[in-house]
Chains A and B, each alone.
Chain A
Amino acid sequence: MSTDPTGWRWLRLLRRRRIALLGAILVVLNLLVAILAPVIGRWEPQRLDVQARLAPPTPAHWMGTDDVGRDVWSRVVHGTRLSMVVGGAVVLLSFVGGIIFGLLGGYYRPLDNVLMRIMDGFMAFPGIILAIALMASLGPSVLNVILALGIVYVPRVARIVRGSVLVIRETPYVEAALALGVSDPVVLARHVLPNCLSPVIVQGTFIFAAAVLGEAALSFLGVGVPPQIPSWGNVMAEGRLYLQQAPWLTLFPGAAIMACILGLNLFGDGLRDLLDPKMQGVRSAAAQE
C-alpha cells in the first residue's frame, strides 16, 4: 500500500466516490478540448463566410454558424481554451495573493487587523460588480479579465489561509521549530504553509468554476474579453440578438458552460469530502458570485 505512487492513491480514492469521478472526467475532458482546440476545431474560429450566416447545425458546421458565418463549434472549442486559461490563471493569481496576505495576517498580529479590514472592504463588493468596475478602468482584454477576477478572489483565499494559520501557529511543532532557532520565513514556508493548503486547494476548484462563470458573464455583458476573441460569453452575447432565428448560437455555448461548471462542482465537492471531512455539505458562497 505504502509503495503506491501518490497519483494512484488519489485515483483510488476518487473511484470510491463515483460522482466525484464523473466530475474529474468532465474536467479532464474540458482540458483535453482546450489543448486540442486547433486540431478538433475543424475551422478557423475567425473565418468569415457571409454566404453561410446563421446556418443551422449541419455535418459541415456541427453547431451551425453565427451572424457573420463563423463556425460555432470552432468558436465554442476555442472558447473552452480561453475559459481554462482564465480559470487557471485566476486560481493562480488569487492563490499567490491570498496566501501571502493570509500568512502575513495570521502570523504577524499587528499586521492582521489592517490586512483583514482591507480584505473585508474588498469583500463588501459583490464579486461581479467589483469585476465590472475594475474592467471599466482596465479596459477589455484577456489579461485584464484575469486581473479583475483575480483581485476579486484574493481576499477570499486570504481569509481561509489566515484562519488556518491562526490555529497552526499555536501548535507544538511550530513552537519547537521556533525554539530551535528556525527563522520566521522558513517556519512559514516549511511548517505553516503546507498544513493550511487542503482547504485552499478545495476552494481552488470553486474559484476556478467562479472564474469561468465570471469571464462568461463579463463577456456576455460586453465588458470582458474583446468581441472578436472566441469566448463562451461572447458567442452567447451574439446569440442573444438572434435568439429566435438561431437558438443554437446560445444553446451550444450554454451547454458547454454547464458541463464545465458541473464537472468542477462535482469534482470540488468530492475533493472537499476527501480533504476536509468537517466541511461536508457546506460550500463557500465565494464560488457562487
Chain B
Amino acid sequence: MRTYLLRRVLAVIPVMLVVATVTFLLIHLAPGDPASVIAGPDATPGDVARLRHHLGLDESLPAQILRWYGRLLRGDLGDSIFLRRPVTEAIVERLEPTLLLTGWATLIAVLIGVPAGIVSARYHNSAVDQSFMGLALIGLSIPNFLLGLVMILVFGVWLRWLPVAGYVSLDVGLWPNVRSLLMPSVSLGLVQSALIARITRSSMLDVLREQYILAGRAKGLAERVVVYKHALKNAIIPILTVVGITFAILVGGAVVIETVFNIPGLGRLIISAVLRRDYPVIQGVVLVIAVTYTLINLAVDLVYLTVDPRIRYQ
C-alpha cells in the first residue's frame, strides 16, 4: 500500500510541471510582441519597454521559464498589470463567492443526483427510472447559463421572490448571503445532478448484477438491505470519482454563472482579465484552478484507499 500511495502522490509532479509550463506559454502564444499587445495601441515605445522589463519579457525564454518555476515554488504569482497589486491577493479576495457557490452547487447536485440514481437502479426500467433518466438527459442538454437566465426571469423579474443578481458577502449575514447564492447554486447544481444521477445509476446497476447480491437475495435479505447496505457500499467509488471529476465541470460552470448573476468571484476576475489582457491574473487564476483540481483528484484517490480495501492490496 505504501508504494501505491507514494506512486500516486509522485504522479502529481509531472502533471504540475505541464500545468506550470502551459500557463507560462499562454503569454507567448499571442501573435506579435506580448508587451505591446498588453500595453495596448495607445502606449508609447517607452511604456512598452518598461512593461517588457517589468514582466521579465526582455530575458531569454529559458531564463524566463526557470524564473517562472522558481516564483511558483515560492507561491509568487506576480503582480496584476491593471489592479496594480499581487495576483495572489486579488485571487484570495475573490475566493469566498466562488467557494460558496461551488460548495452549495455540489451539495445540491449530490442530494438530488445520488438518490435519483439509486432509485432508478433499484426500479430498473420502470416508469420512475425512465422519467428520471429522461429528466437527466434534458438536464444534460441545458446550458447552465440558460437555466440561470430563465430562473432570473421567473423568480427575479416575474415573481420577484429573489434578487435578480448580485452577491451579498457572508460578513453581512448568513441569510442574505444564502439568498443571493440560491439561484446561482441551483442553476449550477441542477445540471450537475443530471450527470451524477446517470453515473450513480449505472454503477449501482453494475453492482446489482454481482454474485454476492444474488447471494444476499437468496438468503432472504430484504431488498432494502440488499440495495442500501450491500450494493450502495460497493457503488460508492465510481460515485466518488464523479464528484471529483465534476469539480472541473463545476468550476468551469461557475465562471459562466458568475457572469450571469454578477457575482464577483474567480470567474469574473478571469473574464475581466481576459478583456483587459491582464496576463498575470489570467495565468494565476488558471494555475490555481488546475492545481486545485489536481489535488482534489489526488484526495479522491486517497479516500478510495480507506473506502475500498481491495485497492490497498493491489
Task: Name A residues whose Cβ lies closer than 8 Å to a Cβ of B.
Answer: 117-118, 120-122, 124-130, 132-139, 213, 216-217, 220-223, 236, 239-240, 243-244, 247, 250-251, 254, 257-258, 261-262, 265-266, 269, 280-283, 285, 288-289
Enumerate chain A residues within 8 angstroms of B145, measured Cβ to Cβ.
Answer: 217, 220, 236
Q: 9 A-B Cβ contacts within 8 A?
A: A118-B18, A121-B19, A125-B22, A128-B255, A129-B251, A129-B255, A138-B31, A265-B140, A282-B199
Counting chain B CB atoms within 10 Å of each CB, the highest count among A118, A132, A223, A262 belongs to A132
Query: Are A288 and B146 in contact, CB atoms less than 8 angstroms apart?
Result: no
Closest 10 CB pairs of A and B: A121-B18, A281-B202, A128-B252, A137-B29, A126-B248, A262-B141, A254-B146, A261-B141, A126-B252, A136-B274
CB contact under 8 A between A288 and B30, given known A120-B18, A133-B282? no
In chain B, positions 18-45 with a C-beta closer than 8 Å to chain A are 18-19, 21-23, 26-27, 29-31
The yes or no answer to B17 lying at the interface (CB within 8 A) is yes
Nearest-CB distance from A28 to chain B (Å)? 17
Query: Are A124 and B274 in contact, CB atoms less than 8 angstroms apart?
Result: no
Enumerate chain B residues within 8 angstroms of A133, measured Cβ to Cβ.
Answer: 23, 26, 270, 274, 282-283, 286
Q: Please encode chain B, from 190 to 215, with 1 for each CB lying within 8 Å of some chain A CB and 0 for all others.
A: 00000100110110010000000000
Enumerate chain B residues within 8 angstroms of A239, measured Cβ to Cβ.
Answer: 149
The yes or no answer to B63 lying at the interface (CB within 8 A) is no
Query: Are B202 and A130 in contact, CB atoms less than 8 angstroms apart?
Result: no
Q: Number of B residues whose C-beta is below 8 Å from A?
A: 60
Nearest-CB distance from B121 to chain A (Å)? 10
Query: Are A134 and B29 in contact, CB atoms less than 8 angstroms apart?
Result: yes
Enumerate chain A residues within 8 angstroms of B26, measured Cβ to Cβ.
Answer: 133-134, 136-137
With A and B bound together, what is the CA distance between A134 and B198 in angstroms? 31
With A and B bound together, what is the CA distance between A124 and B253 in angstroms? 16
List 16 other contacts, CB 8 Å, given A125-B248, A126-B251, A138-B29: A121-B17, A121-B19, A129-B270, A132-B255, A133-B286, A221-B259, A236-B146, A244-B157, A247-B153, A254-B149, A258-B146, A265-B137, A265-B141, A281-B205, A283-B199, A289-B252
With A and B bound together, what is the CA distance between A54 and B286 in angstroms? 38
In chain B, positions 271-314 with a C-beta closer than 8 Å to chain A are 271, 273-275, 277, 279, 282-283, 286, 289-291, 293-294
Query: Are B252 and A117 in contact, CB atoms less than 8 angstroms apart?
Result: no
Enumerate chain A residues within 8 angstroms of B140, measured Cβ to Cβ.
Answer: 261, 265, 288
Nearest-CB distance from B57 to chain A (Å)? 14
Main secondary structure of the interface of B (DSSP, over half): helix
Nearest-CB distance from B61 to chain A (Å)? 16
Query: Are A121 and B22 in contact, CB atoms less than 8 angstroms apart?
Result: yes
Enumerate chain B residues within 8 angstroms of A222, measured Cβ to Cβ.
Answer: 271, 275
With A and B bound together, what is the CA distance between A35 and B16 in angstroms? 44
Enumerate chain B residues within 8 angstroms of A283, measured Cβ to Cβ.
Answer: 195, 198-199
Query: Are B18 and A117 in contact, CB atoms less than 8 angstroms apart?
Result: yes
Which residue of chain A has its CB nearest to the CB of B201?
A: A281
Enumerate chain B residues within 8 angstroms of A118, measured Cβ to Cβ.
Answer: 18
Query: Are B286 and A129 in contact, CB atoms less than 8 angstroms apart?
Result: yes
Which residue of chain A has its CB nearest to the CB of B251?
A: A126
Query: Are A220 and B251 in contact, CB atoms less than 8 angstroms apart?
Result: no
